[in-house]
Chains A and B, each alone.
Chain A
Amino acid sequence: MKPAGFIVGLALATLLAFMAALVFGAIRLGPVAVLGALLHTGTASSKTTLIVEAIRLPRAVLTLLVGAVLAISGAAMQGLFRNPLADPSLIGVTAGASAGASLAIVFGGALAGWAGLSLVSMAAFAGGGLAVLLVYVLATRASGTSVATMLLAGIAISALAGALTSLLEFYATNDMLRRISLWQMGGLEGANWSRVTVLAVVAGGVLVGLPMLARALNALLLGESEARHLGFAVGRVKYVLIGLVALGVGVSVALAGAITFVGLVVPHIVRLAIGPDHRRLLPASALAGACLLLVADTLARTVIAPTELPVGLLTSVLGAPFFILLLRGTRDYAL
Chain B
Amino acid sequence: MTLEIDQLTVGPAGHERLVDVSLRVAPGELLAVIGANGAGKSSLLQAIVGDVSPVAGRVVFAGRAMDRYPRRERAMRVGVLAQASPLAFPFSVRDVVALARSPHGTGRRVDCEIVEAAAQATDIVALLDRAYTRLSGGEKQRVQLARVLAQVWRAEDAGTRLLLLDEPVAALDIGHQSLVMHTLRRVAATGAAVVFVAHDVSLAAAHADTMLALADGASVACGPPAAVVTAETMTRLYAAETRIITHPTTGTPVVLHG
Any B CB within 8 A of the CB of A107: no
The answer to whether B91 touches A333 (Cβ under 8 A) is no
Q: For the complex, what is the distance from the CA of A82 to the CA of B79, rounded to whole Å?
A: 22
A331 — which chain B residues lie within 8 A by C-beta? Answer: 134
The answer to whether A225 touches B80 (Cβ under 8 A) is yes
The answer to whether B100 touches A84 (Cβ under 8 A) is no
The answer to whether B90 touches A275 (Cβ under 8 A) is yes
The answer to whether A82 touches B71 (Cβ under 8 A) is no
B91 — which chain A residues lie within 8 A by C-beta? Answer: 218, 221, 275-277
The answer to whether B89 touches A226 (Cβ under 8 A) is no
B78 — which chain A residues lie within 8 A by C-beta? Answer: 229
Per-position 1/0 for A204-226, Cβ under 8 A of B: 00000000000100110111011
Any B CB within 8 A of the CB of A175: no
Q: For the complex, what is the distance from the CA of A82 to the CA of B133, rounded to whole Å?
A: 13
Per-position 1/0 for B143-175, Cβ under 8 A of A: 000000001000000000000000000000000
Any A CB within 8 A of the CB of B126: no
> Whole-angstrom distance from the CB of A326 to the nearest CB of chain B?
13
Q: For the complex, what is the distance from the CA of A233 to the CA of B88, rounded to whole Å?
A: 22
Closest to A334 in B: B133
Q: Which of A225, A276, A277, A333 has the most CB of B within 10 A?
A: A276
Q: For the complex, what is the distance from the CA of A276 to the CA of B151, rounded to whole Å?
A: 21
- Given A230-B103, A231-B76 in contact, is the A276-B90 Cβ separation under 8 Å? yes
Any A CB within 8 A of the CB of B243: no
> Whole-angstrom distance from the CB of B132 to the nearest CB of chain A?
9
B86 — which chain A residues lie within 8 A by C-beta? Answer: 82, 222-223
Closest to A278 in B: B89
Per-position 1/0 for B69-82, Cβ under 8 A of A: 00111111011101
The answer to whether A277 touches B75 (Cβ under 8 A) is no
The answer to whether B134 touches A332 (Cβ under 8 A) is yes
Q: For the complex, what is the distance from the CA of A197 to the CA of B89, rounded to whole Å?
A: 36
> Whole-angstrom distance from the CB of B71 to the nearest CB of chain A?
5
Q: For the complex, what is the distance from the CA of A334 to the CA of B91, rounded to whole Å?
A: 11
The answer to whether B90 touches A229 (Cβ under 8 A) is no
A24 — which chain B residues lie within 8 A by C-beta? Answer: none
B89 — which chain A residues lie within 8 A by C-beta? Answer: 82, 84, 221, 271, 276
Any B CB within 8 A of the CB of A232: yes
Any A CB within 8 A of the CB of B237: no
Closest to A332 in B: B131
- Given A222-B85, A223-B82 in contact, is the A230-B90 Cβ separation under 8 Å? no
Q: For the complex, what is the distance from the CA of A332 to the CA of B75, rounded to whole Å?
A: 31
Any B CB within 8 A of the CB of A178: no
A221 — which chain B residues lie within 8 A by C-beta? Answer: 87-89, 91
Closest to B90 in A: A332
Q: For the complex, what is the distance from the CA of A275 to the CA of B90, rounded to whole Å?
A: 7
- Given A84-B89, A221-B89, A275-B92 in contact, is the A231-B103 Cβ separation under 8 Å? yes
Q: For the complex, what is the distance from the CA of A271 to the CA of B92, rounded to whole Å?
A: 12
Closest to A218 in B: B99
Any A CB within 8 A of the CB of B216: no
Any A CB within 8 A of the CB of B6: no
The answer to whether B88 touches A335 (Cβ under 8 A) is yes
The answer to whether B51 touches A334 (Cβ under 8 A) is no
The answer to whether A215 touches B102 (Cβ under 8 A) is yes
Q: For the complex, what is the distance from the CA of A144 to the CA of B54, rounded to whole Å?
A: 17
B82 — which chain A residues lie within 8 A by C-beta? Answer: 223, 225-226
> Whole-angstrom distance from the CB of A177 to the nearest CB of chain B?
41
- Given A215-B102, A219-B102, A334-B134 in contact, is the A233-B87 Cβ separation under 8 Å? no
> Whole-angstrom distance from the CB of A86 to the nearest CB of chain B?
12
> Whole-angstrom distance from the CB of B166 to the nearest CB of chain A?
11
> Whole-angstrom distance from the CB of B205 to the nearest CB of chain A?
28
B133 — which chain A residues lie within 8 A by C-beta? Answer: 332-334
Q: Which of A232, A271, A334 contacts B102 (CB 8 A)?
A: A232
B75 — which chain A residues lie within 8 A by C-beta? Answer: 229-231
The answer to whether B99 touches A333 (Cβ under 8 A) is no
A334 — which chain B residues lie within 8 A by C-beta? Answer: 88, 90, 131, 133-134
B102 — which chain A residues lie within 8 A by C-beta? Answer: 215, 218-219, 230-232
A84 — which chain B residues lie within 8 A by C-beta? Answer: 88-89
Given pairs A222-B87, A277-B91, 12 additional interface contacts (CB within 8 A): A82-B86, A82-B88, A218-B91, A226-B82, A229-B75, A230-B99, A231-B103, A232-B71, A275-B90, A332-B90, A332-B134, A335-B88
7 shortest interchain CB distances as A-B pairs: A231-B75, A231-B103, A332-B131, A276-B89, A231-B72, A229-B80, A334-B133
Interface residues of A (CB under 8 A from B): 82-84, 215, 218-219, 221-223, 225-226, 228-233, 271, 275-277, 331-335
A–B Cβ pairs within 8 angstroms, 21 of them = A82-B87, A84-B88, A218-B99, A219-B99, A219-B102, A221-B88, A222-B87, A222-B99, A223-B82, A223-B86, A228-B51, A229-B80, A230-B100, A231-B74, A231-B76, A275-B90, A275-B92, A277-B95, A333-B133, A334-B88, A335-B88
